[in-house]
Amino acid sequence: MKIVPDTSVIVDGRITKIVQDKKFSGCEVIIPEAVIAELENQANKGRETGFNGLDELKNLQKFNSQGKISLIYVGRRPTLDEISLARGGEIDAMIRDTAGDHDAVLVTSDKVQKEVAEAQGLEAIYLKQEMVAYKDLEIGKYFDDNTMSIHLKENVVPLAKKGTPGNIKLVKIGKKPLKRNEVDRMTREIVERSKSDFKSFVEIEMEGATVIQFREYRISIAKPPFSDGVEITVVRPVARVSLEDYKLPEKLLERLRDTAKGVLIAGPPGAGKTTFAQAAADFYSKDLGAIVKTMESPRDLQVGGEITQYAPLEKDMGKTANILLLVRPDYTIYDELRKTKDFRIFADMRLAGVGMIGVVHATKPIDAIQRIIGRVELGMIPSIIDTTIFINDGVVAAVYDVSLTVKVPTGMLEADLSRPVIEIRDFLNGDLKHEIYTYGEQTIVMEVAETKFKKTPIQKIVEREITQEVKRRIPRSATVDVDMKSDKRATVWIDEKNIPKLIGKRGKTIDDVEKKLGINIGVESLQSRTAKKKSQKQPHFKEKQTPTPDESTVVDVEITGNYVVINFDKKSVGTPFDIMVDDDYLFTATVGKKGNIKIKRDIELAKIIIDALKKNRPIQAMVRKE
């Protein structure tokens, strides 16, 4: 039998397996000079595929010398123009011509090559891509369940990063430095296997650099002259998480669910940005039922099968964006934004109405927004980005709200200096953090320092009015301290035992005071303020006190996801408690093994507790008496 292998089966290393099969025993292997020229060209450019192919030809030469096959080289070398047109099919056409001239069977793993050969009346064998297990690769021996990445380099002891975001350690995973031939062997195996696995892609192949997405593993290979030695870096996700695992405030979840359409996920390298982006993609796709796509180079987000991952189309992410604008997804994850073109593509898609989530490197929360300044028109930034989420050590460290207003920038006094100002506020508490505006020809990014609230004479008069109204409803001798927070909001500090009297049943008394004065009033105890001041002076961690059967205590309540959670200490596990608002009994429940009582948000009891929290009314607990 005569066979003509094309470049594809030589590069993926399967032709040596074929000729050892009984069916092909003693066959004549005809190698076109066009194949040699193409492999030589790739090797000269430092590409691993070229070196792999040449190694395969050397293996065939060994079989020839052992008499197992007959190996001949035929045909002419292609011209430089023909080699440059290899992607257009010039080299493939020369290989088919060789098979036809020698009445041989063409062997290929290129489906198009097989179809064209059969259309020309040639006999062709098509080798389908194989499923390859990662553990079969030699580098698989360096991985365990806690390994995030491995770093292999010639003349260096193998290293690995182990742990989880926020708790990562670089450790040695070998006893002696790797030799050049060992690293070379592993690099060629990786490239060879990636060519024969249909879930793997060679994302980048340049002189001295190759990037491969092998299943969920991103593999970067560097060689001289690009690097000072042969190096392999393999990165993989340690765990796949959901947004629930981040225990985000309900306010932020509502923002992501309802209004956030231009989101930047920012953070330093290794902080967990990509992990959070994966969780966000699954949240939009599964929880909201939205159509989600990704734009990645290389593709390394580990998302569900219902989310399609797009690479740069013809090496141009702008062309990918054009296709996505026709597809019209609800949300697109852009991983990651680095160059000016990336930010402009992100802006174009966002302004076209697509919800966009971008991943960007930043060492501080404001840096993520600064990176887009100058790349798009300043006044358009709030229309492109409305939310910035800063990730550090695997947790959400800050969330910024981005909005546009017309005002006098902070620190300026004259009214005629009023101008459009981008306000960057802490999303959770509303504090103004930065202002961005133009001053002359310069763009100013100003950090707004926290300033102490200065009360006006009118506000001081209002404080006295509030004090008088409060004293009409509690004992006249009681201590009352009023602190105006703004023109519309004040906090009243009174003795803890008088709080239920001032609040009244279901908040009726305090509501009457608020309506009369036109001020929103929060009520807190003098004792808690004193304790807070002491703890600030002498910071320490104090275990929560467990309520005794004869007294109640104010408990810590938080809202997470779909639950209202009442927190106790671990000593209270298994103990039944009466839960009260302003001494009004609500219900009895037993503390669970995690030290808390959870109530679904959609029931009436939870709504009463949430309403009490909004009005600064204490939630109390008392040990249930038998």
- Rounded to an integer, what distance in angstroms lies between the CA atom of residue 428 and that of residue 398? 9
Return the pLDDT at 524. 82
Return the pLDDT at 548. 54
pLDDT in tens, 236-248: 766 667 888 888 8
Instruction: State the average pLDDT over residues 606-617.
Output: 82
Confidence of residue 414 (pLDDT cuts 50, 70, 90): low
Q: Which of 207, 159, 177, 270 is nearest to 43 (CA)?
A: 207
CATH code assigned to 134-235: 3.30.450.90
Confidence of residue 537 (pLDDT cuts 50, 70, 90): very low
Q: Say which range, 304-313, 429-438, 503-512, 526-535, has the weakest mean pLDDT.
A: 526-535
Tokens representing 408? 């006098």
Distance of CA 131 to the CA centre of its chain: 28
- Rounded to an integer, what distance in angstroms lies between the CA atom of residue 363 and that of residue 75? 58
Is the confidence at residue 2, as pLDDT, over 60? Answer: yes
pLDDT in tens, 294-350: 998 777 787 888 999 898 888 899 999 999 999 889 999 998 898 999 999 999 999
Confidence of residue 133 (pLDDT cuts 50, 70, 90): low
Query: Which residues, listed in sequence order, are joined to residue 390 by a DSSP beta bridge?
Result: 266, 398
Q: Could you tell me which residue, 164 or 101, shows the higher pLDDT?
A: 101
pLDDT in tens, 269-288: 878 888 899 999 999 998 88
- Rounded to an integer, what distance in angstroms lies between the CA atom of residue 381 and that of residue 421? 11
Percentage of the chain beyond pLDDT 90 is 25
Query: Which residue ranges make up each domain of the chain?
Result: 2-126, 134-235, 243-447, 457-529, 546-623
pLDDT in tens, 149-161: 899 999 999 999 8
Q: Say which range, 76-85, 218-227, 281-290, 420-429, has the weakest mean pLDDT.
A: 76-85
- Rounded to an integer, what distance in angstroms lies between the CA atom of residue 196 and that of residue 258? 44
Confidence of residue 532 (pLDDT cuts 50, 70, 90): low
pLDDT in tens, 160-211: 988 776 677 889 988 899 999 899 888 888 887 776 666 777 878 788 888 8
Backbone angles phi, psi at 159, to 5 degrees: -125, 155
CATH code assigned to 243-447: 3.40.50.300
Nearest 10 degrees: CA dihedral of 410, 416, 420, 425? 20
Q: Which ranges constitute the DSSP H helices of 208-305?
A: 250-254, 273-282
SS3 labels along 470-533: HHCCCCCCCCEEEEECCCCEEEEEECHHHHHHHHCHHHHHHHHHHHHHCCEEEEEEHHHHHHHH
Percentage of the chain beyond pLDDT 70 is 90
Is the confidence at residue 369, as pLDDT, over 80? Answer: yes
The answer to whether residues 519 and 490 touch, using CB atoms and an 8 Å cutoff, is yes
Please tell me the CATH superfamily of domain 457-529, with its number.
K homology (KH) domain (3.30.300.20)
pTM of the model: 0.56
- Rounded to an integer, what distance in angstroms lies between the CA atom of residue 5 and that of residue 10? 7
By the 10 Å C-beta count (0-12 exposed, 13-18 middle, 19+ buried), 158 is classed as buried
pLDDT in tens, 372-391: 988 888 889 999 999 999 99
Residue 327, helix vs strand vs coil: helix
Domains 134-235 and 243-447 share a fold: no
pLDDT in tens, 43-64: 887 777 788 888 889 989 998 8
Spelled out in words, what is the top-level CATH class assigned to the domain 2-126? alpha beta
Instruction: Give the other-Cβ count within 10 Å of 2's Cβ.
Output: 14
Mean pLDDT for the chain overall: 83
Question: Long-range pairs for 602-609 at CB < 8 Å and ≥24 separation?
Answer: 602/562, 606/563, 606/564, 608/581, 609/557, 609/564, 609/581
CA angle at residue 148 from 238 to 368, to 5 degrees?
85
Return the pLDDT at 539. 38
Return the pLDDT at 544. 43
Return the pLDDT at 620. 87
Is the confidence at residue 617, as pLDDT, over 90? Answer: no
